[in-house]
Structures are given as structure tokens and as C-alpha cells.
Chain A
Amino acid sequence: MTTMSPGRSVPVNTIEITEKAAGKVTQFAANKGMEKFGLKVAVKGGGCSGLTYVLDIVEGPESDDKVILQHGVEVYVPKKAFVFLAGTVLDFSDGLNGKGFEFANPNAAKTCGCGTSFSV
């Protein structure tokens, strides 16, 4: 899971998951035998730059989650985390040099060397 530079504009009131990332989420859910699932995308305190991305495949949203449907995958974002993630594009990079899930977060003013944490 890494951070990449935003390459295209996404409306700031939402986050976007690419078709490739959505496909990977569906594949992971199938591997876990989950028929009903969604992708939890959140932020928690910690990491060198202060804020760390959280990704998890879950069965459904919690009461304060914002729900975004893209490419057949529901994305759940806690409202308190949304301010840090608005406008983010979530992609997936595979292959030998691939880094897995990648965040292009326009709110990130600084990221750490390994890309798992950021500050705004």
C-alpha cells in the first residue's frame, strides 16, 4: 500500500476506486468466500508522517460511514476520515515492481519514505 502523486482530478466530495483496484477487491473477497462485502477505506493516527491509511474488506458499512459505489464495489469511508481522503484515487499496481494498493491523495502535503503514512 503506497502513496502516488495525483495524476488526474477527482471531485473533492468523493473518492475514486479504479476498475483495477475494484477487481482486486472483488478477487480478495471471493478468496475469503465473502458474498456480501465492501471495502473499508479509513485513516488512523500513526506512522512517520502522522496519518496512516487503513484498508479492510468488510461485510457492510458502519452507521457513520459514507458509502460510495464504484465498479460494482461499495467503498465505506468513516465520516471523520473523509476529510483526510476527499478527492483520493485508489489504484492497484501489480507485477514484479507492483506495490499493491496505491493512494493518490490530494490532501497529502508530505508522505513518509515507504508511502504508508502522510500528513496534511
Chain B
Amino acid sequence: MQTPISTKADQTQLDALENGCGILLWDAATIVQHNGPDTLDLLHRLTTKELLGVTEGHARRTALTSDKGRVVDVFLVAHVAENQLLLISDSPNSERMVSAIDYYTIIEDAELIDLSKTHTRISLVGPNARRVVESTLNTGIEPDATATIAFGDDPVYMASDTSRGVEWVDVIYDTAIFSRLVGAFGNSGGVAVDAANFELFRIDKEIPGSDKEYGEHANPIEAGLLHLIDWDKGCYVGQEVIARLDAYDKVQRNVKVLQSNAPLEEGAKLTAESKPAGVVTSASKLESADGNFLSLALVRKAYLDSDTEFDANGTTATVR
């Protein structure tokens, strides 16, 4: 008889993310260096957040939307040095960000260098994230700030980000030194977290994911990125459409956490009383401590109330 594969969540990893510091090593993420005197002004004109105030040593997350108001990418703008930014996105497809920004770079003195293949990204997540960074690298980092230090002979870039509702520090460095650095963070109290457990944590915290809750299929309001929109900053690509969606209350869906007693499938259509009610965008395969499976879904506005019941390809799910 085949031994069933454990689908239980790892409480040690989840506890680190919730109460300590989880270390997430990204298999693939977008890491782009943006050099030149016009970079910040260009990104300010293109994206949803006010960026002109992101002075050297600071960081802010923003969204790049299309002229139709759909999300192209969401990334952290880390102002690491004079005329030098690091753009860090959760998307494994760096070409998407590079080609979109490059398209709009016409008369600006700005250059994009894709570091995604040569550099590695670690995210330290949890209330002790900044403390672990400080004790490992002997450098403090404030919320929404950047710091650069030498680890041996190699530069290590750090950027903290408060936009996800949890303490979060991204660490970017040359791939060649990654094992030494991960070990050092572990020695300072960080706990390595695998992708499946991090995904469960992300869903539980209702943190929108790249190409899941947000992407070309969704506008930033319905995708749970409302906090990344500065309404009084003036024009950016897609601003007119997004402002209209908000002003006329035209947003039709919202991100919601669903719970079920069996794992759902990403992409599964939701129905309520036989009517279309939404779509599952992220689904954890891990069983939580309470025996439930958690998912995120883009749910139509008529069905947002807690305990609303859906059918998802034969599995019953309810709004948490």
C-alpha cells in the first residue's frame, strides 16, 4: 500500500512567519537595476504610487498598470544609490517588467539591467525580520528603507517593505554567495520556509500574489492592491480607467479567503445558487491546524459576506 503524502502544514515554519522570522529563498524573481538620473521621475509618471519622495536610502512598492488599467507588474522601488534603483518583483518573468519600462523609455536618461539570472533574492518575513538582518549583517534597517553592505567582497542589497501588512525585508546578492548568507540568517534565528508553507501563510494573510490575484486579468482595486494607489498624485498609465472604476463604483470583484475541507484547484470557477460567483486564484494544498484548506479567490461583489457558500468543481468552499 502506498504511504499517503503528508499534506499537513509545518507549524514550525508558520510560527516563524507569524511570530519570528521566516527565510524564503525565491526560485525565480524579477531583479532589475535601473540606472540614470531620470529613473525615479520616469517610474513616478508610469506607476500608481508617488515616487518622487523616495530619496536615496528609501524604498516604496508600486504597481505598473496598462492603459486599460490592468496590472502589468508590482514591484519594490529601492533607491540604493545616487541615480541607481533596484526594482524587485515577485514575478518569475523579468522580461515583462523590463520590456514594459523599456517601451516607455524614450527621451529619458535611464538604463535597465536585468540581474534576475545572476542574483538571488531572499525575503525575510515576520516580526523579527529586521532584527535577524541586523544581527546577521551588523546593519540596522528601518521600515521602507534600503541598505547596502559588503559580505566578504560582494555587495548585499537590503530593502524593507511595509506594504504587505507584515514585516518584510528583501535581500539581494550575487548568486555565488547565497549559501553562506542563508546559513548566516539561520544562525541568527531565521527559519527556512518552503514555497508551500509560505503560500499558505500568504493566503491566510490575504497577500495578493503575482499572476494569481493580480496580473493582466485584474485591475489593482479588485486584486487587493488599493493601498498601492495614490489618488492625488496625478497621471500615470491607466490612471483614468482606475479613477473611473473607483469613482463610479464599477469594481465587480474583490479578493477573499475561502476555506474548504478539501484542497481547491487554482482556476476553478465558483458558483453560488448555480450562478457564476468568482474564480479561485490561489489554492494551498496544505491542511491547516484546524483541518481546513485555504484559498484566495476573486469573488463577485454580491457574494462577499462571511460564510457565503460556493461550489468549486464539486468541492464546497465558504468565505472566511
Identify A81's interface contact among B46, B107, B235, CB under 8 A.
B107
Taking a contact as CB atoms under 8 Å apart, the answer to whether A48 and B67 are in contact is yes
Q: Which of B42, B45, B106, B240 has the most CB of A within 10 A?
A: B106
Taking a contact as CB atoms under 8 Å apart, the answer to whether A112 and B108 are in contact is no
Task: Report Cα–Cα, A117/B67, bound state, in Å.
Answer: 10
Taking a contact as CB atoms under 8 Å apart, the answer to whether B107 and A44 are in contact is yes
Identify A112's interface contact among B46, B106, B235, CB under 8 A.
B235
B88-115 CB mask vs A (1 if < 8 Å, else 0) is 0000000000000001111110000000
Given contacts A113-B240, A117-B235, A119-B67, contact A46 B107 (CB under 8 A): no
Is B237 at the interface (CB under 8 A from chain A)? yes
Taking a contact as CB atoms under 8 Å apart, the answer to whether B236 and A80 are in contact is no
Is B239 at the interface (CB under 8 A from chain A)? yes
Q: Which of B42, B105, B235, B241 has the most CB of A within 10 A?
A: B235
Residues of B within 8 A of A49 (CB): 67, 237, 240
Taking a contact as CB atoms under 8 Å apart, the answer to whether B67 and A50 are in contact is yes
Task: Report Cα–Cα, A44/B105, bound state, in Å.
Answer: 7
* Chain A interfacial residues counted at CB < 8 A: 22
Given contacts A50-B67, A80-B106, A80-B107, contact A44 B45 (CB under 8 A): yes
Is B238 at the interface (CB under 8 A from chain A)? yes
Task: Report Cα–Cα, A59/B105, bound state, in Å.
Answer: 24
Taking a contact as CB atoms under 8 Å apart, the answer to whether A48 and B106 are in contact is no
Task: Report Cα–Cα, A107/B61, bound state, in Å.
Answer: 33
Task: Report Cα–Cα, A20/B100, bound state, in Å.
Answer: 37
Output the nearest chain B residue to A40 by Cβ-Cβ distance.
Answer: B107
Is A52 at the interface (CB under 8 A from chain B)? yes
Output the nearest chain B residue to A118 by Cβ-Cβ distance.
Answer: B67
Task: Report Cα–Cα, A54/B41, bound state, in Å.
Answer: 15
- Minimum C-beta distance from B292 to chain A (A): 43
Taking a contact as CB atoms under 8 Å apart, the answer to whether B45 and A84 are in contact is no
Is A60 at the interface (CB under 8 A from chain B)? no
Given contacts A110-B67, A119-B67, contact A47 B107 (CB under 8 A): no
- Minimum C-beta distance from B233 to chain A (A): 11
Output the nearest chain A residue to B242 by Cβ-Cβ distance.
Answer: A48
A44-65: which residues lie under 8 A (CB-CB) from chain B? 44-52, 54
- Minimum C-beta distance from B237 to chain A (A): 5
Taking a contact as CB atoms under 8 Å apart, the answer to whether A48 and B107 are in contact is no
Task: Report Cα–Cα, A117/B108, bound state, in Å.
Answer: 17
Q: Which of B67, B238, B240, B241 has the most CB of A within 10 A?
A: B67
* A-B contact sample (11 more), CB < 8 A, given A44-B106, A45-B106, A46-B236: A44-B108, A45-B42, A45-B105, A47-B45, A48-B238, A48-B239, A52-B45, A52-B235, A81-B106, A110-B67, A119-B67
Q: Would you list 18 pairs from A and B whose C-beta atoms are within 8 A, ordered by A residue?
A: A43-B106, A43-B107, A44-B42, A44-B106, A46-B45, A46-B104, A46-B237, A47-B237, A48-B237, A48-B238, A48-B241, A52-B235, A54-B107, A80-B106, A84-B106, A112-B235, A113-B240, A119-B67
